[in-house]
Chain A
Amino acid sequence: MVAIASNQPTDAANPAASPAPPPRKPTGRVGRRSRRGRIDDTPAYKAFQVFNTFALILVVIATLVPFIHVIARSFSSEVAIRTNRVHLLPVDFNIHTYQYVWNNPLFLGSYWNTIRYTVVATFVAMVLTTCYAYVLSKKHLKGRNVLIWVAVFTMFFNGGIVPNFVVINELGLYNTMWAIVLPNAISVFNLLVMKAFFENMPPDLEEAAQVDGLNTYGILLRIVLPLSKAVLATMTLFYSVTFWNSWFPALLYLRDPSLQPVTIFLRNLYAGAVGGESLGADAADLQVSANVQAVTIVLISVPILMVYPFLQKYFVRGVMLGAIKG
């Protein structure tokens, strides 16, 4: 999002250009310099370092504890959960719940739907985003600013739930896979990151290809895309994760239980459990549900965890690219 900031070369694009600190009188508290050019740490700073390390370790623990708790639950027996014995380690370790969930046809069907939607939607999104980003990266193009604003304006204003629903309905997409795939095919943020990448490509190769008689499509397919594997991989990951995690469009646009993605499966378990608890339903049923919920959470998250090392590397790079080069 921040990429917009630097459409004009304001100092948003270049924080280093910010005004230097105002000159101050020497306070006489200058630390001695060590040979490496660093000021020797004052006792206060050393104390701060210790505090800082502890605080960050706390951040790590606080982030991980809910995950660990859910994983522990997913491997524990119902009785153990019911009697409040499950904390951070599984009690009465077993994989029955996993087998139970995995053999549930509704779960498997939903899981397969999620895979299907993610693959198709990511493909469509990549094609559209790449095309548009490439067009927007051509600075000489007449009307380029209008084309950019067509995209950027949608970040600040959108139709709202009801008009979106009405449009999907009138286009005949209601209760089809396309209601999930098409309406979110271009994320403007991803578009701007990709545009920034294309803008930073050296123009020489494209010019040479042009001299060799390649047309625009040929240049894009044979020259530009092979050189953009990094950004294409990043964007594919960006989109896959978004579509894998998405649930609200499915809630709104899909009626058929057989079309639902697995996120909706989990949402129904969760809504059922909360609703049941508030209606005072039989406690035993709820515990089974809590158990099943934990397993479903783990099974939805496993693919994300598997790509997480790549995600982290590429996402961070992608976000920085969008933020700084923009």
Chain B
Amino acid sequence: MTNVAVTSTTKETSPPVRIKPKKRTWREALRRDWQLYSLAVLPLVFFLLFRYLPMLGNILAFRRRPGGIFGTGEFTLRYFERLLFNDPTFWKVFWNTVILGGLTLVIVFPLPIILALMLNEVRKQAFKRFVQSVSYLPHFFSIVVVVSMIAQFVSLDGLANQVLKALGGDPIPFIQRPEWFRTIFVTSEIWQTVGWGTILYLAALTTIDEDLYEAARIDGAGRWRQTWHVTLPGIRPMMITLLILNIGTFMNVSFEKVLLLVNPLTRETGDVIATYVYRIFTSSPSLQNYATAIGLFEAVIGLVLIASANVIARRTVGTSLW
């Protein structure tokens, strides 16, 4: 019992000097903290059933025939062979995914930083809060709502086409044109995520030491150089953390949004790996194993991407997730 008191008070008063508690054996720990452990049981069951069991379920990708996770059956690599060598559609959706993810990363990722810096320069707090309140709003709406709103906006009788007509152009059925898919996707992504994305940067901005600005001013730095030499380095760790996370979800490209936005006419550019998996899985139960194989392939790429981004970030700039 006393151990708790010791560890927690030391943490309170002097974080750097931590008195390490005596190593306990599992038997002692269980006797002492069994009530705490008991609280973890249900959550652990949750993780086991709904997170780790599906991971294990990827074994289906190596089975010849569809079935349950614990079923028996011949093992095979034929689905990966098919995926890599015999399925042109897979490679098409693969490159669609890379392009869409790349566009999102290059165009959408920097925008919250810029918006946060702009908000940071606003002197009237009321105006700043107003802009923030409005720009966070789209984040809270369901993707279904957002996508149908986009669809209404760009439909033949929607506002986008009315503006186009006023400028003398012909109306375009945007939502059915493959060449417009990427534009619509990225624009709507900007609309929905950029405002909300500023929160973390604004939080990081508040932690920058005022003295650094003072020092920069004494050194003769103008506003612009203060931003460049104090503000940006100050939010750099946050930028890198978010960049790593974004690279990790790179292959995922807001799957739910793409699934809603894409239709048979725009598959040429809009079909991504996840929607392809969903489509072949729902079209025929006999393709279960193949769909699993594609999904696993994508998830492994995601894991490799985030792990390498993490290693690179740690080696080069010294910030990393783990």
Contacts and interface: CB of A to CB of B under 8 A. Distances in A.
Nearest to A170: B68
A18 B236 contact: yes
Given A20-B212, A274-B175, A216 B36 contact: yes
B322 A4 contact: yes
A196 interface: no
Contacts of B33: 138, 141-142, 216
A31 interface: yes
Interface string A206-235: 010010000111001000000000000000
Contact of B57 (A163, A182, A216, A287): A163
Contact of B281 (A2, A159, A165): A165
B233 to A, nearest CB: 5
A53 interface: yes
B60 to A, nearest CB: 6
A35 to B, nearest CB: 15
Contact of B141 (A14, A73, A147, A304): A304
Q: Which of B134, B150, B303 has the most CB of A within 10 A?
A: B134
Contact of B37 (A5, A135, A263, A320): A135
Interface stretch (B90-98, B102-110, B117-125): B117-125
Interface residues of B, number: 133
Nearest to A248: B256
Chain B CB within 10 Å — which of A135, A185, A273 has the most? A135
Contact of B152 (A69, A88, A312): A69
A247 B131 contact: no
Interface stretch (B81-89, B178-186, B218-226): B218-226
A296 B147 CA distance: 13
A177 interface: no
A203 B319 contact: no
A21 B215 contact: yes
Contacts of A162: 57, 60, 277, 281, 288, 291-292, 295
A176 interface: no
Interface string B66-87: 0011000000000000000000
B186 to A, nearest CB: 14
Given A10-B320, A134-B39, A154-B51, A203 B152 contact: no
A132 B48 CA distance: 14
A316 B280 CA distance: 40
A166 B295 CA distance: 13
Contacts of A73: 152
A15 B242 CA distance: 14
B312 interface: no
10 contacts: A21-B212, A63-B135, A138-B36, A157-B302, A160-B298, A162-B60, A162-B292, A166-B68, A185-B50, A287-B157
Interface of B: 1, 3-5, 7-9, 11-12, 21, 24, 26, 29, 33, 35-37, 39-40, 42-44, 46-47, 49-58, 60, 68-69, 115, 118-119, 121-123, 127, 130-131, 133-138, 140-145, 147-153, 155-159, 161-162, 165, 173, 175-176, 191, 195, 199-200, 203-204, 207-209, 212, 215-217, 219-223, 225, 229-230, 233-238, 240-242, 245, 248, 256, 259-260, 263-265, 274, 277-278, 281, 288, 291-292, 295-296, 298-299, 302-303, 306, 318-322
Q: Closest 7 interchain pairs by CB?
A: A159-B54, A163-B57, A160-B295, A245-B142, A21-B229, A216-B35, A203-B8
Interface of A: 1-2, 4-5, 7-8, 10-12, 14-16, 18-31, 39, 42, 45, 48-49, 52-53, 55-56, 59-60, 62-67, 69-70, 73, 81-82, 84, 86-88, 127-129, 131-132, 134-135, 138-143, 147, 150-151, 154, 156-167, 170-171, 182-186, 202-203, 207, 210, 215-217, 220, 241, 244-248, 263-264, 266-267, 269-271, 273-275, 277-278, 287, 290, 293-294, 296-297, 300-301, 304, 308, 311-312, 315-316, 319-320, 323-324
